[in-house]
Amino acid sequence: MVMDHVIQPGARLGIESLSRTLRVSASPVREALARLEVDGLVVKRSLAGYRATELLTGGGVEELFEMRLLGL
């Protein structure tokens, strides 16, 4: 849903609402959000829950490529 932009960049992700939408318990949703956080697709904020990451700006894309070039 994050990759397909069903969940918009910057949107708040509630565990309970996602579990209702997906018709699963909260545990697999928590596990999935933790994996998405490791992959950089969501951000966890203390006392605020999860949010989908924002899209990169043009400057952000340039910075990303510069960092990758330094790693070569």
- Residue-range domain boundaries for the chain: 12-70
Per-block mean pLDDT, blocks of 10 residues, the chain (72 long) = 90 95 96 94 90 87 85 70
Q: Which residue has the tokens 């928590």?
A: 30
Specify the CATH architecture of the domain 12-70: Orthogonal Bundle (1.10)
pTM of the model: 0.74
* Burial track 20-47 (b if 16+ CB lie within 10 A, e otherwise): eeeeeeeeebeebbeebeeeebbbeeee
Burial class (CB in 10 A: 0-12, 13-18, 19+), 13: buried
